Amino acid sequence: MAQRSHVPLSVATIADLSTGAASRQPRRWTVENVVTVEVDGTQVWDEEEQRSLPAVVLEMPSHIARHLACILDDWTTICRILESARPVDERDLAGALHEAARTADTLVAAAAGDAGVAGA
């Protein structure tokens, strides 16, 4: 896999590039040396706009995904309590992050079990 350039979040943003250069160059930011946020040139379908748009890809360990899921769940609760004018319900995303974290933890446990069997 080719090494991609890392740009610390505080150093540069996509706004620093011309529109043409921004559309051709994958950009990657690292947050607190744990979470990677990348615009890598892939596309995702946006139901709201009915067209393909550039994807924003997040990479993080399971404990960060679980923490972010809790924050999104709390945010949804706070907005409901305050009767926010903007409808907010991030529980589906929170649930997906919880499930992804659980799956990642299962993979780690399975790999540890395989390593234990191989070393026996």
The tokens describing 4, both together, are: 């991609």
Q: What is the pLDDT along the chain (120 residues), one digit of tens a residue?
A: 344 444 444 434 445 555 565 556 779 999 999 999 999 999 999 999 999 999 999 999 999 999 999 999 999 999 888 887 777 899 999 999 999 999 999 999 999 887 765 555
7 to each of 26, 27, 58, how far by Cα in Å?
Answer: 11, 8, 15
What pLDDT is attached to residue 114? 76
State the pTM of this model.
0.68
| H or E element that contains 46 | strand 43-46
pLDDT tens digits, one per residue of 86-99: 778 999 999 999 99
pLDDT for res 3: 43
User: What distance in Å separates the CA atoms of residue 56 and residue 75, rounded to the nearest whole number?
Assistant: 21
Contact predicate 35/22, CB 8 Å = no
Show Cβ contacts of residue 78 under 8 Å, excluding neighbours closer than 6 positions.
Answer: none
Angle at 101 between CA 99 and CA 103, to 5 degrees: 70
